[in-house]
Amino acid sequence: MKFLRMVVAVLVVAGGMGFPAAAAAQTSPSIKGGGTTDEMSQFALAISAGSGHFECLMPALMNVQATVTGADMTGGSSVSFEGTAFVTLPAGNPLGLPPGRIGPAPFTATAAAGGPGVGQLDLKIMDMDFPGTVEHGQIRITP
């Protein structure tokens, strides 16, 4: 009988230890995908357990190479993520800024899962907002 109580106690403790890990997985999603949006000619997402990389290219405007340092589920199929990025501006960009590399600059973004016409990507960087709908490609989110 004493052995049975000990086994039950160990199982209860082990079950309680597993709960925080499951909760952490829900708040640190993975986001994978790539393609184009109506604002970005190309984008790529490689975020796992809340960290990773995000890149986007907006011709004649900027190229963003970002390191993601945090990500959280914001809904059933959407995620917000943040980090720092290096932004490369071309000569003659419409922002009126000198060409070259700027950074690291903080950024925030949101992504909604889906393919053409459904997936969404919204980048906020350098006091600018670039929302877009996926035209080609896919955004996949795993909680």
**Model pLDDT for residues 88-114, shown as the tens digit of each residue:** 999 999 999 999 999 999 999 999 999
pTM, two decimals, is: 0.79
Q: 35 versus 11: which is more confidently predicted?
A: 35
Q: Which residue range is the domain that position 72 belongs to?
A: 28-142
**CA-CA distance, 117 to 10, in Å (whole number)?**
50
Number of domains in the chain: 1
In a domain, 10, yes or no: no
In a domain, 53, yes or no: yes
